Chains A and B, each alone.
Chain A
Amino acid sequence: MKVVATYNIKGGVGKTSAAVNIAYFAARDGLRTLLWDLDPQGSATYLLRVKPKVKGGGDALVRGKRTLGDGIKGTDFDGLDLMPADFSYRNLDLDLDGTKRPTDRIRRLLAPLRKEYDLVVLDCPPSVSLVSENVVHATDVLLVPLIPAMLSVRTYDQLIDFVDTMPGRKPQVLGFLSMVDSRKKAHRELAARLPSDHASVVAEAIPSRVVIEQMAEERAPVPAFAPASSATAAYEALWGRVRSSLTGTG
C-alpha cells in the first residue's frame, strides 16, 4: 500500500481538486484506492456525494471502538472508496498537528487496511504549522500544489528543508504548479522556470480552468463529466508522474 498526500499550509491552492482527480485516475488504472478526507470542512466528501453524518447520531454510543474500516464508503467509481471527514474526527480522535498524539497515528490507523488498498490518497487541510509530522510520516509522496507566486515558492523551499532535516522515514516531495493562468506573464515565467530551478517541481502543471471549478456543481471528478477537457489531460499527466514516483519509492 502506497500513500500520497496533497499538502500545503496555504488554503485554496488546489489540494482537494488534485486529490480527487488523482484518486479517480488511480482507481481507473486498477489500483484499489482509498481517498481519505482529512479536512474537517469535508470538501472531498462533498465532491463525491457522500452525506455527512447527522450530528449527535447513534455512533456516539460506540465511540472509541470504531476503526477506520467502519467509516469507509464506496463511491460511484469502481475501485475508489472514500473515508469521510466527519467520521475521522468524531470517531478516530485525529490530531494532525501532533501535539497530543504520537506522530505515527495516521500510519497506525491505516495499517489494518494494508491488504485492502493499493493506494491511499490523503486530502489534507491547510495546516497551521509548516508541516504536520503525522502526514509526513505516513506518506510516500507529498504532493504540493504551488500557485505561481514568489511567496509560495519560498514556503515550498522551507518545506523541502524541513522534510530534509526530519529524522526517520521521509516522503518524496513533489511540487506541481496549480491554477496556472497562461494569460498572466508572471505565471508563464514561473511555470517555465520553476521545474528547471527545482528538481522536485514537476513539469506537469494544472492550468486554471472553469471545468475544475465546476466539480462543485457536478459533484464528480473532472474526467467523469468532462473527459475531453484539457483539465482532464493535465490531471491524468500529473497522475502519471505521481505513479512513476511511487514505483520508485520503497
Chain B
Amino acid sequence: MKGVDGGQFWSGLEPSAVPAALTALAVDHAVAMDRPVAWRRTWLDSIDLRLYRSGMALTAVEGADGDGSVLELSCPDGVTVRAGPDMLGWPRVPARLPDGLRPHLEPVLGVRALLPMVEASGTSVTGRLLDDEGKTVVRLVHERPATITGGREQLPGGLGLVPLRGYDAAGERAARIAHRAGLVPDTPSRYPAALRAAGIDPDASSRAVMEPGLPARAAVARVLLSFLGQLEAAVDGTVSDVDIEFLHDLRVAVRRSRSAVKLLGDVLPPGLVAWAAPQLRLLGELTTPARDLDVLLQELPSLTAGLTGDRREDVEPLVLHLAGLRADEQRRLAAGLRSPRFERFRARWRASLLALATWDGQPGAGPTAAEVVVERLDRAHRRVLRRGSRITDASPAQDLHDLRKRTKELRYLLEVLPTTTDPADARVVIKELKAVQDVLGTFQDSETQRDTLHSLATELMSGDGASARTIFAMGEIAARLQEDQDTSRGEFAAVFERFSRRSAQRPTARATAGVAR
C-alpha cells in the first residue's frame, strides 16, 4: 500500500466503483499502470484509540524481506512523518518509539502503550495519467480490496490520486471523474475504514447509561454487564503490564460496579448482591497497592522538582525501592487475575447478570430504572449536602474522606442517567460537584502519599542504600504534601458552598427527572 502524500484518496464500498473510475479516467488520459505489489500493514493505537480520536493514524508497513517495517504517522494537519526500519515489535510505550515520532505521539498518548489494532494485507498498483506528450500529470495508486487478518470483512478498495506539481487542473478533473464513478473521499491513512472493517466501532460511546424505561432490575443488570465488559477488556493488558492505564481502567470498572451494586443493588436478587459485593471489594483491594505505587512513581518527578537545588539523585534510592515494590505488587496482581477464583467470579457474575438483563416487554415488572434512579439521586444529593455542611476547619480528616465517598456516589448516579430534557442543568451540577471532588481528592491523596512516604522511610532506614540525604529529601517532599493538604482544606468551604447553592437552584432530581415524567 503506497501513501498518497499531498493527494486525495477515494474509496468505494461498491466493488465495481474503482474499475469504473479507472475506465472513465482512461477516456480522458492515457493510463500507464505498473505491476501489482503486495503489501501488509498494521495500524497502531492505544487501547482507547487516542490516535483515532485526535485525528492521527500510525501504521507499520512491513518490509519486503522481514527487514523491519517503516512507521508512517499521519498527523491531523495532513503531514506524514516516517521512521524506520523498525524491528522492536508491539506493544510499546511512547518512550520506546523512534525519536522522530515521539514528539508527535507523546502528548497524545501520555503513558498509554501502542498496540496493533488492525492488520491487513492486499495488493496495490501504482500508475500514471499521461497527457498527450506522454508526460505524467497525475500519479495514481489503485488499492484492491484488502484482507483483514483474522476478520471476515474486507477493507474496501480505492484510488489515490496525486496531481504532480503544476498540474492541479488535471488533478481536479480526475477527482471529478472518480466522484462521478461513485467513489467518495476517504482518509489517506485508511485508518477509520480499517477499524470498521475489523469490526471496531471507533465512535461507540463507552459510557454505560441506563435505559430509563426498562424495569429497574434489567436496566441495572445491563449497566453492570457493560462494566464487566470494561473490566474484562482491561485484564490482559493489566496482567502483561502493557501500560499502567490498563490497571486504572480495571479499577474504574470495579469501582463503578461496586457503586452500582451499593446504590441500586436492592433491585437485584439479594442472594446475588450478598455474594457479589464482597467479591468486588476483594478485587478492588487486590489492585490498590499496585495502583498507589504507579501514582507515586508518576508524581515523583514533579514532587522532586520542587526540592531546593537540583537533588534528583537524592531520591534515586527511593525510586529504585518503589520500582522494586511495584514489580512485586504487579506479580501478585497478575497471579490474582489469573487465579481460578477470579475466573469463577467472572463467569458466575456474567451468567447471573445475563439472566437478569433480559426483559420480555411485559408491563408490571416493578419500577422503571428512571423512577429508581431519580429517587436515589435525590437521597444521595441530600446526603452530600447534609454531611458537607457539617464540615468545619476543625473536622477530623476522616470526615472529609467520608464526604468524598458520598460525592463519588452522587457523581456516579448523575453519570449513569441518560441525558435529560435539560442537559445544561445536569452539566452545571456535575461541574460544581467535580470541583468539590477535586479538592477532596487532593486532600486525601496528599495525606495517603505522605503516609506512604513515612512508611517507606522506615523501610529504607532499616534496609540498605538509603543515605540521610534521601530521607531528608523525602521529608521535604512530605512537607510539601502537607502544604497541599492544608491548601485544599482551606479551599473546601468556598467550593462546597458554591456547589450547594447552585445544585439547590437546580435540584439534581429535577434536573434529571425529565426522564421519569
Contact = CB atoms under 8 A, between A and B. Distances in A.
Interface majority SS (helix, strand, loop, mixed), chain B: loop
A72 B166 contact: yes
A131 interface: no
B134 A71 contact: no
A74 interface: yes
B359 interface: no
A49 B166 contact: no
A76 B128 contact: yes
A81 interface: yes
B136 interface: yes
B110 to A, nearest CB: 33
A74 B165 contact: yes
Interface centre among A51, A74, A81 (most CB of B within 10 A): A74
A74 B164 CA distance: 5
Interface string A56-77: 0000000000000001111110
Interface in B128-161: 128, 131, 133-136
Contacts of A72: 165-166
Contacts of A50: 133, 135
B166 A73 contact: yes
B102 to A, nearest CB: 24
Interface of A is mostly: loop
A73 B133 contact: no
A87 to B, nearest CB: 9
A170 interface: no
Interface string B149-185: 0000000000000001111000000000000000000
A51 B320 CA distance: 69
A75 B165 CA distance: 8
A154 B185 CA distance: 62
A48 B166 CA distance: 14
Nearest to A46: B133
Q: Looking at chain B, what size class is its interface with the partner chain? A: 10 to 19
Contacts, number: 31
Question: What class of interface size applies to chain A in its complex with B?
Answer: 10 to 19
A49 B165 contact: no
B167 A49 contact: no
A51 B164 contact: no
A198 B197 CA distance: 68
A53 B435 CA distance: 67
A51 B132 CA distance: 9
A72 B167 CA distance: 9
Interface in B349-370: none
Interface in A81-139: 81
A76 B167 CA distance: 12
A2 interface: no
A74 B166 contact: yes
B207 to A, nearest CB: 46
A51 B131 contact: yes
A105 to B, nearest CB: 22
B395 to A, nearest CB: 64
A157 B135 CA distance: 40
A212 B164 CA distance: 27
A219 interface: yes
Contacts of A49: 133-135
Contacts of B167: 73-74
Max chain A Cβ within 10 angstroms of own Cβ: one of B133, B135, B166: B166
Contacts of B131: 51
Interface centre among B131, B135, B136 (most CB of A within 10 A): B135
A82 to B, nearest CB: 8
Nearest to A83: B166
Contact of A219 (B134, B164, B165): B134
14 contacts: A48-B135, A50-B135, A51-B131, A51-B135, A72-B165, A73-B165, A74-B166, A74-B167, A76-B128, A76-B135, A76-B136, A81-B166, A219-B133, A219-B134
Interface of A: 48-51, 71-76, 81, 219
Given A49-B134, A72-B166, A73-B166, 11 more contacts: A49-B135, A50-B133, A51-B131, A72-B165, A73-B167, A74-B166, A75-B136, A75-B164, A76-B128, A76-B136, A81-B165
